[in-house]
A and B are shown apart, each in its own frame.
Chain A
Amino acid sequence: MSIASVMSILPSRKRGKDLVAPPRKKLKTPKIFIFLCLSPWLIGILMFTLYPMVTSFYQSFTKFNLIDAPKWVGLANFHRMFFEDPDFWKALRNTIWISAISIPLRIAFAIFSAWMLTKPKRGKNVYRTIFFLPSMVPAVAATMVFTYIFNPAYGPINRFLEMLGIKEPPFWFLDPKWSKWGLILLGLWGIGDTMIIFLAGLLDVPRTLYEAASLEGASAWQSFRYVTFPMITPVIFFSGVTGVIGSFQYFTEAYVASGQVNDYSHSMYFYATHIYFSAFRAYEMGYASALAWVLLVITLVCTLIILRTQKRWVHYPNGSLFK
């Protein structure tokens, strides 16, 4: 509820001078003291954020191999990226694929899991903990476990599929056609962090709205479609934006999984992997910097597009934060 709306419901006779805050006294703290207090943060952001960003921007226009001083090459790195580097396009395609598939799936799965967790009458905290736990497992460990359970020779998943009568179950991470699906399933398993946000969103929907819908004869689906869904659109919007940013930086799981198998076709080669390999395998720091800046632009554009569409579908009961 905004201050204006609070003011509007106050009786008019109570409005007056007595409600107006006295003017603030001028701050006497010396500016130098303020800067001193801020200096650890300022130094940190200058040294560890701004300086590397400026340096990498400069290096993106150079050829830099870690040994010799950076050599100015103009737009050559960007030209190579778009016109001469098939791995760039492969990595970009893979990244767009995993974003397009995993973000909606993660959101849907998180909503479903959160909705399930609103149902138990007893032991709900235990269930919530169990569902949240996988998200606390380090990505490397989780990926190692998944490459084991999806192993086509001795992994329990394929044994189970064979028991169900599937004679030739997929080779998962060993098969370029299935490897990304293995990563998607791994991502869904660790949905706990997103789920907990949706759970908060679901619990925040006023019960009175459901009661009103029920009185109107709404079915369960209609209750979800016309009550729950609009009320959690801000959470969906938030998950979408953070999901896009996260998926464009997708690295650890793919790197570990592809290290466990021979990912010869680069089916698990993502944009962040391309940056890593360019920088630390090929030692082409200039090219890796150029890749990183293009990634920033792509992520910015995608995020802006989502931000621009929010007016059409995101419902803020108290008004949007992004006016």
Chain B
Amino acid sequence: MKKKGWLASFAVTAVFVGSLVGATAGAHAADRTVVVWSPYKEGNLDLWNAALKRVEAANPGLKISSVGSIDMAKSLAAINAGNGPDISVSNGAGNLGWFCGSGAWQKLNAFIAGKNGINLKTTFTPAANSSTITNGVRCALPLNSEVFAFYYNKDLLAAAGFKNPPKTTDELLAFSKKLTTFDKDGNIKTAGFVPWAGYYGFDMDSMWLGQMFGTRWYNSDGNAAFGTDSNWTKALTWQKTFIAQVFGGGDFAKGSKLLTKFVAARGDEWGTQHDFMTGRVAMKWDANWMAPMFCTGDDWAMADKCTAKVNFGITGFPVAPALVASQYGSGVVGEVQMGISKGSKNTKDAWIVLKALATDTKLAQAWDSANGAPSTLLSKDARPAKYPDWYQPIYDVASHAKSSYHLMKNTGEHQEEALLQNLMASWQAGDTKDVKPALVSLSTQVDQIIKRNI
């Protein structure tokens, strides 16, 4: 009897535990929730959530939980703590090295090559493909572009006798010489072009300068190329010559001092006091999101016809004379990226969502209409049905084969950009006398950072 009692109770317990395990397993199999974190808020979050609803509708049983207003630091901390989302969106092109290099995002190569894969070459623009890869590893898909192009004031150029924008760096210097004026005290009144680290460009002036000379950031061995790629020396030497000839009458120190003062007096970036809008500068590098403001003055919405005082055009960066045939028309193009977090329990569904978002032409179209951010997709359906003609050059630069962002490595929050910008600033101020050893030293510093982060 005692034995029977034991057996009975064992059987009851086994049935109970079995049913519990079964229920848990069943619940797990049915749990197809994908958590998506993004930095978006308000109207952009609405567009984003609408796209997520479309993914849910196309994949019965799949649930997506969307959380907005999450920046990179929060995402990284949560992924580290094991509480991260399945998918997170990085809010800047330069963060890929960190998200990928640190292992916060998983490698996607197997998913891309798999059954439900994606042909990157026929789906995305060249810039989108090149800027979502680091150390030969792809751990992100592109979402939308940020395009840095060349803006020029048509009226000021015409008044100086120039019908077209400069195509080469030599022409840029010659145009600027003619367009730069001085007041009675000898200070710069208006500038043709200002190749200056810290003139509205934040950490990007040096990247833009490098793009004009076809510079390389890293060698094929993975080491920094600042000290070995002679185009960096050419770019910075050109900058120094430009400052001396255009602003200093041949005297670099004089030009540098005058330009420091000129840059210190620049107008606010956000609004009609921007130097490009007041005519204080005739040509400049800038981002696509500045175009609507230049067009209408203070309205960020895209307008069919520009109503602001400045009559401007957009084109690719002027390039070194030897690069005109291959590179003219390009610019710096980066992407907003997204990836699947380390520790995601549901990578299969996360990939379905990731792929669907990256290839959603409706999302790309709506996003572009709202933000003027060109799609990374080659499909014409991804473009807004109607966009103003004056904005077309932004699309041309975005899809140019030579447009790119620099290769991104794990240097924390893109420290190599900040270090390069410091070197450019020190050089333009005359504190760095010899640029070659300074570039070699920069390479060493960047290599050390990468080595530490492995």
B422 at the interface (CB under 8 A from A): yes
Partner of A262, one of B79, B198, B449, B452: B198
Are the C-beta atoms of B415 and A262 separated by less than 8 Å?
no
Are the C-beta atoms of A283 and B102 separated by less than 8 Å?
yes
CB distance from B188 to the nearest CB of A (A): 10
Are the C-beta atoms of A66 and B421 separated by less than 8 Å?
no
Are the C-beta atoms of A153 and B412 separated by less than 8 Å?
no
Residue of A nearest to B81 (CB): A66
A303 at the interface (CB under 8 A from B): no
- Per-residue interface assignment for chain B, residues 180 to 208, with 1 indicating a CB less than 8 Å from any chain A CB and 0 otherwise: 00000000000000000110000000000
Partner of B261, one of A66, A152, A176, A284: A152
A275 at the interface (CB under 8 A from B): no
Are the C-beta atoms of B104 and A281 separated by less than 8 Å?
no
A107 at the interface (CB under 8 A from B): no
Are the C-beta atoms of B421 and A283 separated by less than 8 Å?
no
- The secondary-structure label for the interface of chain A is loop
CB distance from B271 to the nearest CB of A (A): 17
Which B residues touch A174, using CB under 8 A?
Answer: 260, 264
Report if A68-B412 is in contact (Cβ < 8 Å); known contacts: A151-B264, A154-B265: no
Once the chains are docked, how many angstroms separate the CA of A281 from the CA of B94? Answer: 12
Residue of A nearest to B203 (CB): A262
Which B residues touch A281, using CB under 8 A?
Answer: 412-413, 415, 418
Chain A residues 120 to 142 lying within 8 A of chain B, measured CB to CB, are none
Chain A residues 248 to 291 lying within 8 A of chain B, measured CB to CB, are 261-262, 264-266, 280-284
Which A residues touch B77, using CB under 8 A?
Answer: 66
Which B residues touch A283, using CB under 8 A?
Answer: 76, 98, 102, 412-413
Are the C-beta atoms of B102 and A67 separated by less than 8 Å?
yes
Once the chains are docked, how many angstroms separate the CA of A152 from the CA of B77? Answer: 42
Which B residues touch A154, using CB under 8 A?
Answer: 264-265
Are the C-beta atoms of A282 and B198 separated by less than 8 Å?
no
Residue of A nearest to B431 (CB): A265
Once the chains are docked, how many angstroms separate the CA of A273 from the CA of B388? Answer: 46
Which A residues touch B429, using CB under 8 A?
Answer: 264
B65 at the interface (CB under 8 A from A): no
Once the chains are docked, how many angstroms separate the CA of A68 from the CA of B197? Answer: 35
Residue of B nearest to A281 (CB): B413
Which B residues touch A176, using CB under 8 A?
Answer: 431
Once the chains are docked, how many angstroms separate the CA of A68 from the CA of B410? Answer: 14
- Per-residue interface assignment for chain A, residues 162 to 175, with 1 indicating a CB less than 8 Å from any chain B CB and 0 otherwise: 00000000010010
B103 at the interface (CB under 8 A from A): yes
B73 at the interface (CB under 8 A from A): yes
Once the chains are docked, how many angstroms separate the CA of A63 from the CA of B426? Answer: 32
Partner of A171, one of B104, B260, B342, B412: B260
Residue of A nearest to B197 (CB): A262
Q: How many residues from A make CB contacts under 8 Å with B? A: 23
Chain B residues 368 to 419 lying within 8 A of chain A, measured CB to CB, are 411-413, 415, 418
Are the C-beta atoms of B104 and A151 separated by less than 8 Å?
no
Partner of A67, one of B104, B260, B265: B104
CB distance from A17 to the nearest CB of B (A): 67
Which A residues touch B198, using CB under 8 A?
Answer: 261-262
A65 at the interface (CB under 8 A from B): yes
Are the C-beta atoms of B449 and A66 separated by less than 8 Å?
no
Which A residues touch B112, using CB under 8 A?
Answer: none
CB distance from B202 to the nearest CB of A (A): 9
Which A residues touch B264, using CB under 8 A?
Answer: 151-154, 171, 174
Which B residues touch A67, using CB under 8 A?
Answer: 76, 79-80, 102-104, 342
Are the C-beta atoms of A153 and B413 separated by less than 8 Å?
no
Residue of A nearest to B342 (CB): A67
Once the chains are docked, how many angstroms separate the CA of A68 from the CA of B104? Answer: 9
Once the chains are docked, how many angstroms separate the CA of A210 from the CA of B396? Answer: 83
CB distance from A2 to the nearest CB of B (A): 54
B262 at the interface (CB under 8 A from A): yes
Report if A68-B103 is in contact (Cβ < 8 Å); known contacts: A282-B413, A284-B412: yes
Are the C-beta atoms of B197 and A153 separated by less than 8 Å?
no
Which A residues touch B303, using CB under 8 A?
Answer: none
Partner of A282, one of B104, B415, B424, B431: B415
CB distance from A197 to the nearest CB of B (A): 37
Once the chains are docked, how many angstroms separate the CA of A65 from the CA of B425? Answer: 29
Once the chains are docked, how many angstroms separate the CA of A154 from the CA of B273? Answer: 15
Residue of B nearest to A64 (CB): B80
Report if A66-B197 is in contact (Cβ < 8 Å); known contacts: A262-B425, A284-B412: no
Partner of B102, one of A65, A153, A264: A65
B13 at the interface (CB under 8 A from A): no
Which A residues touch B261, using CB under 8 A?
Answer: 152-153, 171
B453 at the interface (CB under 8 A from A): yes
Which B residues touch A266, using CB under 8 A?
Answer: 422
Once the chains are docked, how many angstroms separate the CA of A282 from the CA of B449? Answer: 9
Which B residues touch A63, using CB under 8 A?
Answer: 452
Residue of A nearest to B262 (CB): A153
Chain A residues 290 to 322 lying within 8 A of chain B, measured CB to CB, are none
Chain B residues 114 to 146 lying within 8 A of chain A, measured CB to CB, are none
Which A residues touch B80, using CB under 8 A?
Answer: 66-68
Once the chains are docked, how many angstroms separate the CA of A76 from the CA of B220? Answer: 30
Which A residues touch B426, using CB under 8 A?
Answer: 264-265
Binding site for A on B (CB under 8 A): 73, 76-77, 79-80, 98, 102-104, 197-198, 260-262, 264-265, 342, 411-413, 415, 418, 421-426, 429, 431, 448-449, 452-453
For this complex, 12 residue pairs linking A to B, each with C-beta atoms less than 8 Å apart, are A66-B76, A66-B102, A67-B76, A67-B342, A152-B260, A153-B262, A264-B421, A264-B423, A280-B73, A281-B415, A281-B418, A283-B412
Could you list 13 further interchain pairs (A-B, Cβ under 8 angstroms) beyond the known A153-B261, A153-B264?
A: A66-B80, A66-B102, A68-B102, A153-B262, A153-B265, A171-B264, A265-B422, A266-B422, A280-B73, A281-B413, A281-B418, A282-B415, A284-B412
Closest 9 CB pairs of A and B: A153-B265, A264-B425, A262-B198, A282-B412, A264-B422, A153-B264, A67-B102, A262-B425, A264-B426
